[in-house]
Chain A
Amino acid sequence: MVSVDDYGEFETEWCPGCGNFMILKALKRALAELGRSPDEVLLTSGIGQSSKLPHYLKCNLFNGLHGRSLPPAIGAKVANHELTVLAVTGDGDCYGEGGNHFLHNVRRNPNITLIVHDNQIYGLTKGQASPTSEPGMKTKVQTHGVFNTPLNPLSLAISLDCSFVSRGFAGDVSHLTELIKKAIQHKGFSLVDVLQPCVSFNKLNTFSWYSERVYRMEEEGDGYDPGDRVKAFERSLEWGERIPLGVFYVNEKPTFEDHLDVLRSGPLVSNKADPKKVDELLDRFI
Chain B
Amino acid sequence: MSTDLVIKVGGAAGQGLQTIGVALAKTFKKSGFNVFATQFYLSRVRGGHNTFQVRVSDEPIRAMTEKVDILIALDEESIEEQIEEMTDGVIIFDNDVIKINNNTDTNNGLFFHVPMLKIAKDVCGNKIYSNSVASGAALGLMCFEFDYLAKVLTEAFKKKGEEIIDNNIKAARAGYDYARDNYPSGCKFTVSEPSEDDGRMLIAGNDAVGLGALAAGVQFLAAYPMTPSTGVMTYVAANADDFNVVVEQAEDEIAALNMVLGASFAGARAMTTTSGGGFSLMAEALGLAGITETPAVIFLSQRPGPATGLPTMTEQGDLQFVLTAAQGEFPRCVLAPGTPDDCFYLTAEAFNIADKYQIPVFVMSDQYLADSLFTCERFVPSKVTIERHLMSDEELAEKGEYKRYEITQTGISPRAIPGQAGSLVAVDSDEHNEFGHIDQTIENRILMNEKRMKKLELLREEIEPPRLYGPKDAQITLVGWGSTYGPLVEVVNTLINEGHSVNHLHFTHVFPLPVESISDVLGNSEKIVCVENNATGQFAKLLECETGVKIAEKVLRSDGKPYSPESIIRELREKEVI
Contacts and interface: CB of A to CB of B under 8 A. Distances in A.
A65 interface: yes
30 contacts: A38-B424, A40-B419, A58-B424, A62-B265, A63-B427, A63-B428, A63-B438, A64-B292, A64-B429, A65-B285, A65-B429, A71-B262, A72-B261, A74-B262, A75-B260, A76-B265, A76-B418, A79-B219, A79-B262, A101-B255, A263-B246, A269-B268, A271-B244, A273-B216, A273-B217, A275-B386, A282-B201, A282-B379, A286-B199, A286-B201
A144 interface: no
B251 A279 contact: no
B254 interface: yes
A140 interface: no
A53 to B, nearest CB: 12
Interface string B274-288: 000000000011001
Nearest to B422: A39
Contacts of A103: 251
A152 interface: no
B137 interface: no
B258 A39 contact: no
A236 B251 CA distance: 26
Interface in B290-339: 292
A105 B268 CA distance: 20
Range of interface residues on B (Cβ < 8 Å): 35 or more
A275 B429 CA distance: 34
A39 B417 CA distance: 10
A74 B259 contact: yes
A270 to B, nearest CB: 9
Contacts of B385: 275
Interface string A262-286: 1101001101111111110110011
B426 interface: yes
A262 B245 CA distance: 7
Contacts of B436: 61
Contacts of A55: 426, 428, 437-438
B378 A282 contact: yes
A268 B265 contact: no
A180 to B, nearest CB: 20
A117 B422 CA distance: 29
B32 to A, nearest CB: 12
Interface of B: 198-203, 207, 211, 214-217, 219-220, 222, 239-246, 248, 250-252, 254-256, 258-270, 284-285, 288, 292, 348, 378-379, 381-382, 384-386, 417-419, 422-430, 436-438
B429 A278 contact: no
Contact of A42 (B256, B418, B422): B418
A80 interface: yes
B241 A62 contact: no
Given A63-B428, A271-B219, A80 B267 contact: yes
Contacts of A76: 262-263, 265-266, 418
B341 to A, nearest CB: 12
A281 B214 contact: yes
Closest 8 CB pairs of A and B: A273-B217, A75-B262, A72-B262, A71-B258, A75-B263, A60-B418, A79-B268, A79-B266
Nearest to B285: A65
Contacts of B252: 100
Interface residues of A, number: 56
A274 B260 CA distance: 21
A68 B258 contact: yes
Contacts of B266: 42, 75-77, 79-80, 83, 269
A199 interface: no
A59 B244 contact: no
B219 to A, nearest CB: 5
A76 B242 CA distance: 21
B419 A61 contact: no
Contact of B244 (A64, A268, A278): A268
Contact of B348 (A59, A68, A82, A275): A275
Contact of A278 (B199, B214, B219, B256): B214
Nearest to B260: A75
A74 B246 CA distance: 12
A102 to B, nearest CB: 10
Contacts of B211: 278, 281-282
Interface in A84-142: 100-101, 103-104
Nearest to A84: B419
Interface in A219-272: 260-263, 265, 268-269, 271-272
Contacts of A104: 250-251, 255
Given A59-B424, A78-B246, A275-B215, A269 B267 contact: yes
Contacts of A79: 219-220, 262-268, 270
Contacts of A77: 262, 266
A47 interface: yes
A152 B497 CA distance: 74
A195 interface: no
Interface in A31-55: 37-40, 42, 44, 47, 52, 54-55
Nearest to A73: B262
Nearest to A97: B254
Contact of A68 (B241, B254, B379, B386): B254
Nearest to B214: A278
Given A42-B419, A275-B215, 14 more contacts: A44-B262, A65-B258, A65-B285, A75-B268, A78-B248, A79-B270, A80-B266, A80-B268, A100-B251, A268-B219, A276-B381, A277-B214, A282-B378, A286-B201
B272 to A, nearest CB: 10
Nearest to B428: A63
Contact of A75 (B198, B220, B251, B438): B220
